[in-house]
Amino acid sequence: MAYVQGLRCRECGRGYDIAPVYTCEWCFGPLEVSYDYDAIASVLSRERIASGPPSIWRYAELLPADRGNAVDLGAGFSPLVRADRLAESLGLGEVWVKNDTVNPTNSFKDRVVSVALSKALELGFKTAACASTGNLANSVAAHAARAGLASYVFIPADLEQGKVVATAVYGGNLVAVDGNYDDVNRLCAELAGTYRWAFVNVNIRPYYAEGSKTLAFETAEQLGWEAPDHVVVPIASGSLLTKIRKGFDELHRVGLLEREPQVRVSGAQATGCSPVATAWLEDSDTIRPVKPHTIAKSLAIGNPADGYFALDAVRQTRGGMASVSDEEVVEGIRLLARTEGIFAETAGGVTVAALKRLAEEGIVRPDERVVVYVTGLGLKTLEAVAPHVGPTATIPPSLDAFREVFDPDTEE
């Protein structure tokens, strides 16, 4: 906290004190946390980080809440695995998968929620709340339980069973709303004006969003303090993508990366909800809201709050974007599982399928060191792949029956 200067408007640059506020009263632009980077540079070192906990809190100096009172289930420091089989099947060179399926509630949302609820406690809130496409629900319910906070979690009523159960089990209030995420979000904006709750993606959003930077911090540390050439990131609200980019820039700013990072940032969306990718493909600055219809429910935000900033980041870094069909999403899940042994949820399928497309289009190149962000676990979206996979054979319990179907001796 010592290194946080305050909040600053991303549009007009106006400064604000640390408080549960999220839009500029001057221009309605979104607020962002600002830091004293010189002070951070004077204390932070690679050694100091290495001696910290194996979680997002090893980077506490670059986060807007104190490590001492953090609401910590152990989010972060997930494996960065070299993915040679995946690379070979896509005709690429050096590909790495950041496997964020292994977080405490099995998605990258644990990073943002750990920061958000830590801040909520510091600001004196007694109740946590959120509008969720699924993973945020799991994570807020779990971290609120851990912190002893009451919770109200709002979801679209048609969410995957796995995500409903993995939220309800933590015992807070779970409210299923008849409508899509954008309807839920609108309701939550009203509730946020009515109750004194810490709404992680409304009034606490500037702090929440900072948690995503840790994906960039870890990637650089795990690559031996080097930035990759190209990253592929799924887009829902667009916050994750913009913050991954910010994370690499900050590391350079505080002296942890010697060379200025030149990370190309590419975005991934499902065709059934692709307002940002559509604007990119049409070379437009306007993000037209859509009504989502895709199996990638965790990315199904039809009116993305940070869509413009994500688009801008992709343009500035000369990245690309792809939107992929639901069939390609399922194929992407299966390709990653088959080649690397990682079972991703539909958002991961979107990202891998987008990587495939971008490789085919020559936007992601074989001479680049590429990092792909796999942000959620496949067990949460079983219904997406269940119709496509099953036992190789069902047999009676006899050797003969097995031999009738399989002939392992003649296989290589």
- Verify binding: residue 236, ligand PLP, rule CB under 6 A: yes
Please list every residue from 359 through 398 that binds ligand PLP, using CB under 6 A: 375-376
CB 269 within 8 A of CB 407: no
Task: Specify the residue, 29 or 366, whose C-beta has the smaller distance to Zn ion.
Answer: 29
- Distances in Å between the Cα of 180 and the Cα atoms of 31, 134, 140, 187, 198 are 26, 12, 19, 11, 22
Task: Specify the residue, 229 or 345, whose C-beta has the smaller distance to ligand PLP.
Answer: 345
CB 114 within 8 A of CB 70: yes
DSSP label at residue 91: T
- Verify binding: residue 298, ligand PLP, rule CB under 6 A: yes
CB of 239 to ligand PLP, least distance (A): 3
Span from 21-29, 106-114, 127-135, 237-245 in contact with Zn ion (CB under 5 A) = 21-29
The b-or-e profile of 164-173 (16+ CB within 10 A means b, else e) is bebbbebebe
Task: Specify the residue, 20 or 156, whose C-beta has the smaller distance to Zn ion.
Answer: 20
Specify the DSSP element, H or E, that contains 120: helix 109-122
- Verify binding: residue 7, Zn ion, rule CB under 5 A: no
Span from 8-16, 39-47, 106-114, 164-172 in contact with ligand PLP (CB under 6 A) = 106-114
Which entry of ligand PLP, Zn ion, none binds 107, CB below 5 to 8 A by partner kind?
A: ligand PLP
Q: Calculate Rg over the CA atoms of the chain.
A: 21
Name the H helices within 262-323: 275-281, 307-316
Number of other CB atoms surrounding residue 372 within 10 Å = 28
- Verify binding: residue 26, Zn ion, rule CB under 5 A: yes
Which entry of ligand PLP, Zn ion, none binds 189, CB below 5 to 8 A by partner kind?
A: none
CB 230 within 8 A of CB 369: yes
CB of 32 to Zn ion, least distance (A): 11
If 0-12 CB within 10 Å is exposed, 13-18 middle and 19+ buried, where does residue 38 land? Answer: exposed
Cβ neighbors of 400 (< 8 A, separation 6 or more) are none
State which of residues 55, 103, 237, 317 lies at the interface with ligand PLP (CB under 6 A): 237
- Verify binding: residue 347, ligand PLP, rule CB under 6 A: yes
Number of other CB atoms surrounding residue 198 within 10 Å = 28
Cβ neighbors of 327 (< 8 A, separation 6 or more) are none
Which entry of ligand PLP, Zn ion, none binds 319, CB below 5 to 8 A by partner kind?
A: none
For residues 409 and 392, give the distance between their C-alpha atoms in angstroms, rounded to a whole number: 17
Task: Specify the residue, 26 or 225, whose C-beta has the smaller distance to Zn ion.
Answer: 26
Which entry of Zn ion, ligand PLP, none binds 27, CB below 5 to 8 A by partner kind?
A: Zn ion
CB of 66 to Zn ion, least distance (A): 27
Span from 2-10, 151-159, 301-309, 338-346 in contact with Zn ion (CB under 5 A) = 2-10
- Distances in Å between the Cα of 116 and the Cα atoms of 120, 168, 247 are 6, 20, 17
- Verify binding: residue 269, ligand PLP, rule CB under 6 A: no
CB of 26 to ligand PLP, least distance (A): 25
CB of 90 to ligand PLP, least distance (A): 20
Greatest alpha-carbon pair distance for the chain in Å reads 78
Which entry of Zn ion, ligand PLP, none binds 294, CB below 5 to 8 A by partner kind?
A: none
Task: Specify the residue, 136 or 220, whose C-beta has the smaller distance to ligand PLP.
Answer: 136
Task: Specify the residue, 26 or 406, whose C-beta has the smaller distance to Zn ion.
Answer: 26
The residues that touch ligand PLP, with contacts defined as CB under 6 A, are 107-109, 135, 234-240, 298-299, 345, 347, 375-376
The residues of the shown chain that bind Zn ion, judged by CB under 5 A, are 9, 11-12, 14, 24, 26-27, 29
